[in-house]
Amino acid sequence: MPSTTTRTITLAGRDAAAFANGQLSSNVLGLPVGRWHFSGWLDPKGRVRALLHVARIGDERFVLVPRGGDATALAADLKRFVFRSKVTIDVSDTLHVGDGVARADGEASEDADGALLLGEGDASLRIAANEGDDAWRARHIAKGFAWLPDGALDALLPPALSMERIGAVAFDKGCFPGQEIAARLHFLGGHKRHLHIVQSDRALIEGTTLRINGRDAGIALTSDASASRPTTLVVLDDATAAAQNLDIEGNRLHIVSTFTD
C-alpha cells in the first residue's frame, strides 16, 4: 500500500512569525525554535481549510505540514495576504509521511537527509522524500489526530476536530481568520458534531459522508487498514453518536471512544 503523501509549505523571512500568527489559529509567536505544534487555517466562517503541523526550524523559518488538502493551492491563497510583509512562501515537492524513532514530544528538527522529524514522545512523524509507511495511522487515530480527506476540507468547524484539545487554537493571541466564530463556539458551546473512533464490519472509505435513513450524520476521516477490525476516526452528530452502536447503510459501527474540547 503506498504511503500517505503531503507537500510542506515553508515561510521564511523577517516577518514570517508575525505573518503566520496573523493567519493561523495557533500562537505561532510563542513557538520556540526547534519545536512544533498543531494549528489550522480557517475560512472567514470558521470552517477548517487546513489542519497543520507548524514547525519552527529557525528564528525566521517555519515549515507547515498540511494534514490533507492541496498545499500548492493553500500556499497560493496565503500569498494573497502577504502584502508588504517580508516573507517568502515556498512549496516542496511531494513528500512521504512515515513513522520515525522516539523523540521528545513537540521537538522539531531536520536530519542530514533533509527529512523533517516531528517528535511525539513515544515516536515521531517523519516527512521525507523517500518512501514512508502508514504505521503512524493507528497511533494518530488513538490520539484523535485527524488527517483530512478532500470531503472534509472547508466543511468542519474546530470543535468537530477537537482542535482546542490538541492545542491548535489559541483565543488569547488576537485576531485570525474565523476567530470570531471559533471563539463563540469556545465560550458559548453548542456545536453538535464531535470526533470519535469507531470500529466497523466493513472498512469506511475516507471522505465518505455517513448517512442514516438518508440523513447526513457525519463523515469518515482517517482509517487504519492494519487493524484486525476496520478502525476509523470519524465526525458524527451528537444525537447519532448517543446510540454507541450504529447501522450506517448496512455497515455496523461501534463507537470506541469520543474526543471533545
Closest-CA residue to 81 (of 149, 20, 141): 20
The pLDDT tens digits for 34-55 are 999 999 999 999 999 999 999 9
Query: What are the residues whose beta carbons fall under 8 Å from the beta carbon of 148, sequence distance 6 or more?
Result: 48, 50, 51, 67, 68, 69, 221
Cell 473512533 sits on residue: 197
Average pLDDT score over residue span 180-209: 91
Residue 29, φ and ψ in degrees, nearest 5:
-60, -30
Dist. CA 174–CA 182, nearest whole Å: 12
Mean of pLDDT over the chain: 94
The domains located in the chain, with CATH, are 5-187 (3.30.1360.120), 192-259 (2.40.30)
What per-residue confidence (pLDDT) applies to 214?
83
Q: What is the pLDDT of residues 108-148, one digit of tens each?
A: 999 988 999 999 999 999 999 998 899 999 999 999 999 99
Q: Contact 130/164 with Cβ under 8 angstroms? A: no
* The predicted structure's pLDDT at residue 2: 65
Q: For residue 1, is pLDDT > 70?
A: no
DSSP secondary structure, 43-91, as one string = -TTS-EEEEEEEEEEETTEEEEEESSS-HHHHHHHHHTT-TT---EEEE
pLDDT digits (tens, 9 = 90+) for 214-238: 889 999 999 997 878 999 999 999 9
Residue 239 pLDDT greater than 60, yes or no = yes
**Neighbour tally for 188: CB within 10 Å:** 8
159-186 per-position pLDDT tens digit: 999 999 999 999 988 899 999 999 888 8
pLDDT at 86 over 70: yes
End-to-end, the C-alpha distance of the chain in Å comes to 33
The rounded radius of gyration (Å) of the Cα atoms in the chain is: 18
Q: What is the pLDDT of residue 188?
A: 85
132-153 in b/e burial notation, b at 16+ Cβ within 10 A? Answer: bebebbbebbebbbbbbbebbb
* Percent of the chain topping pLDDT 90: 83
